[in-house]
């Protein structure tokens, strides 16, 4: 397995990983919290390089990205592993397998083969998704560099737990990111995800600073993060960075180890959308609610529809040269 990036050697052949905000200290012969970075005789190795556990063609809207090349397809790729332990993970069978049973499944697919597949299928983007792209950083980085050279864009669907040095390393070839902002309470992050809130907030700000197009998703879980106060705090935080950040408020369905909460009512998602708009966000979307008006994009100036959607299907598009076709107001995004 290749040597990992972003780590320091310590005494007694231990290493300190600088890839994510856990900053694991890993003794010789052990793995980090992600379960896919292993210290072998004082050298940190990635165990998932080139081992794709998932490889699919997806509409970019599925990520979800609503302001990044809408109507196009992305080649989606993932490896096993994750640096979070979310109780509600919908992909736990692949994200948690290295930690829970030591298994690292996947088939060999090189970065060059990924880029070739993207070109062959007419994909304008490669999306590093399904699990956490941070933990297959070296694989994603090499692929992204090749893709950028071929004019193919790169996006992360991420929990936002990268270190600043990891983000700065990938930023030159990372065009967009959808960041899960799971809650605005550190307690939620610690109890539900096995992580902390602050590094995620810092990543969101840093991505905007670096010029990476960003959209944010919050899975609204009844009884856990759905209070008007907390949703208002999330919306206010995002609006304070940039009111043009799209915010996706998505419906929860019981899964994995979080089955004590009911599915999110449609009314709760619509209320969250209102909260976002009241906080000053220009683009707030309801997710996992096909056919809802909250899937559409409206010009923040003239209020007319500029992109219509139903599920992952695109409807009318009234954007010309990145501007509203009705009033010529610029529409934030990558068009």
Quick: pLDDT tens for 65-74: 999 999 999 9
pLDDT reported for residue 103: 86
Number of domains in the chain: 3
Residues forming beta bridges with residue 75, ordered by sequence position: 57, 126
Q: 37 and 67 in one domain?
A: no
| Positions in the chain whose pLDDT score sits under 50 | none
Residues above pLDDT 70, as percent of the chain: 100
Span 130-174, pLDDT tens digits: 999 999 999 999 999 999 999 999 999 999 999 999 999 999 999
pLDDT reported for residue 1: 86
Q: 269 and 152 in one domain?
A: yes
Q: 249 and 119 in one domain?
A: yes
What does the alpha-carbon distance between residue 11 and residue 108 come to, in Å, rounded to a whole number? Answer: 34
pLDDT reported for residue 295: 97
Q: 60 and 42 in one domain?
A: no
Q: 115 and 172 in one domain?
A: yes
Q: 159 and 81 in one domain?
A: yes
Q: 167 and 32 in one domain?
A: no
Smallest CA-to-CA distance from 164 within 21, 313, 33 is with 21
Rounded (5°) CA angle 252-254-259: 135
Q: 228 and 272 in one domain?
A: yes
What does the alpha-carbon distance between residue 32 and residue 113 come to, in Å, rounded to a whole number? Answer: 28
- Whether residue 219 lies inside any domain: the answer is yes
CA 50 to chain centre: 20
Q: 118 and 212 in one domain?
A: yes
pLDDT reported for residue 102: 87
Residues forming beta bridges with residue 162, ordered by sequence position: 20
- Whether residue 271 lies inside any domain: the answer is yes
- Specify the pTM: 0.97
Domain that holds residue 327: 303-335
Helix (H) / strand (E) containing 205: helix 198-210
Span 112-138, pLDDT tens digits: 999 999 999 999 999 999 999 999 999
Q: 241 and 225 in one domain?
A: yes
- Whether residue 2 lies inside any domain: the answer is no
Q: 285 and 148 in one domain?
A: yes
Beta strands 107-108 and 51-52 are antiparallel
Residue 318 contacts residue 307 (beta carbons within 8 Å): yes
CATH of the domain at 286: 3.20.20.70
Residue 203 contacts residue 240 (beta carbons within 8 Å): no
Q: 255 and 313 in one domain?
A: no
């Amino acid at each position: 397995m290749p040597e990992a990036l972003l780590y320091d050697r310590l005494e007694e052949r231990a290493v300190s990983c600088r890839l994510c905000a856990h900053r694991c200290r890993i003794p010789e012969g052990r793995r980090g919290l992600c379960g896919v970075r292993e210290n072998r005789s004082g050298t940190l190795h990635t165990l998932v390089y080139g081992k794709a556990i998932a490889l699919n063609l997806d509409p970019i809207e599925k990520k979800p990205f609503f302001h990044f090349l809408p109507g196009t397809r992305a080649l989606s790729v993932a490896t096993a592993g994750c640096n979070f332990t979310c109780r509600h993970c919908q992909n736990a069978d692949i994200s948690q397998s290295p930690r829970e049973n030591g298994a690292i499944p996947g088939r060999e697919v090189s970065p060059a083969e990924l880029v070739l597949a993207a070109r062959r299928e007419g994909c304008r983007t490669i999306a590093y998704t399904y699990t956490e792209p941070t933990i297959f950083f070296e694989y994603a980085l090499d692929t992204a560099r090749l893709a950028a050279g071929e004019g193919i864009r790169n996006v992360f669907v991420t929990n936002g737990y990268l270190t600043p040095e990891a983000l700065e390393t990938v930023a030159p070839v990372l065009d967009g990111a959808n960041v899960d902002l799971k809650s605005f309470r550190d307690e939620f992050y610690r109890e539900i995800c096995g992580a902390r809130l602050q590094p995620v907030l810092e990543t969101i700000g840093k991505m905007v600073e670096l010029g990476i197009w960003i959209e944010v998703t919050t899975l609204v879980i009844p009884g856990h993060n759905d209070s008007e106060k907390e949703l208002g705090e999330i919306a206010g935080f995002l609006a304070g960075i940039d009111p043009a950040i799209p915010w996706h408020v998505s419906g929860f369905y019981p899964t994995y180890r979080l089955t004590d909460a009911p599915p999110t009512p449609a009314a709760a998602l619509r209320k969250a959308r209102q909260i976002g708009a009241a906080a000053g966000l220009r683009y707030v979307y309801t997710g996992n609610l096909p056919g809802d008006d909250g899937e559409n994009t409206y010009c923040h100036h003239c209020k007319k529809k500029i992109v219509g959607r139903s599920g992952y299907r695109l409807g009318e598009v009234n954007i010309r040269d990145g501007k509203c076709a009705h009033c010529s107001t610029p529409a934030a995004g990558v068009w």
